[in-house]
Chain A
Amino acid sequence: MLARSASPQLIQEYVNTGKVRYVFKYYPFLGEESYYAAEATECASDQGKFWEYHDLLFSLWQGEGVGTFLPDKLKTYAGQLALDTQTFATCLDTRRDQFTVLADKRDGAQAGVKYTPTLFLNGQVISPVRDYEQLKAKIEDALAGR
């Protein structure tokens, strides 16, 4: 999965060099923990720590529906990143950002997303991508106009 393993390389080689603009969108569909995790990340974003929380959640992945992303755990992770845990808890418990997450999912569904991760390069679906090398090859082809 790109977000779990290849992102640092992608960012170093293509984003930081001005060749690629990378956009992350939520597409929760593997159960309630997917929605909790996405909404929690948006709550972290409200405190200016989206990417830190995003990276932490992907690093904690253990499988589907195993309890890693239940609300109490997600609040603990917020504490690990020194977020204001009271504000974070209120945000998560009231589901303040649920429509932001659902809007991403709506947009993805309209664009044809059926699985995750789905990758669009300049509007064209390029996934599934096996690994970073394959992604890199597709980016190089696009940069060369192939």
Chain B
Amino acid sequence: MSEAPQRLLPLRWILPIAVLLALLATACRSGDGGGDGFQVTVPPGTVGSQHVLGSPQAPLELIEYADFQ
């Protein structure tokens, strides 16, 4: 009689934990704007890198966003 509550107690937490994990996963996928859960915080006015090959008069501009890994 005393064993039943000990078995049921973990079960009681499974649903809340599953919901919490699902919410965390969703936040990491979509809430950061960067895709990796990393919040991009940059001082206002900060300019990005300037690595360009080719003529400014070229009819097409190809921009590549890349990760070295």
A18 close to B58 (CB less than 8 A): yes
- Cβ of B64 within 8 Å of any chain A Cβ, yes or no, is yes
Q: Which of B38, B41, B48, B62 touches A119 (beta carbons < 8 Å)?
A: B62
B interface bracket (residues with beta carbon within 8 Å of A): 20 to 34
Contacts A27-B67, A109-B34 given: A103-B51 contact, CB under 8 Å? no
Whether the pair B49, A42 counts as a contact (CB closer than 8 A) is yes
Instruction: Please name all residues of chain B whose beta carbon is closer than 8 Å to the beta carbon of A132 when the two chains form the complex.
Output: none
CA distance A103 to B34 in the complex (A): 11
Interface of chain B: mostly helix, strand, loop or mixed: loop
CB distance from B64 to the nearest CB of A (A): 5
Assess whether A82 is interfacial by the CB under 8 Å rule. no
The listed residue with most B CB atoms (<10 A of its CB), out of A105, A109, A120, is: A105
Contact code string B24-41 (vs A, CB < 8 Å = 1, else 0): 000000000111101011
Q: In the complex, what residues of B have CB within 8 A of residue A71's CB? A: none
Kindly provide the distance from the CB of B63 to the nearest chain A CB, expressed in whole angstroms: 4
Chain A interface residues toward B at CB < 8 A? 1-3, 10-11, 14-16, 18-31, 33-34, 37-38, 41-42, 45, 50-51, 54, 57-58, 61, 63-65, 69, 99-111, 113-123, 139, 142-143
Chain B interface (Cβ < 8 Å from any Cβ of A): 33-36, 38, 40-43, 46-49, 51-69
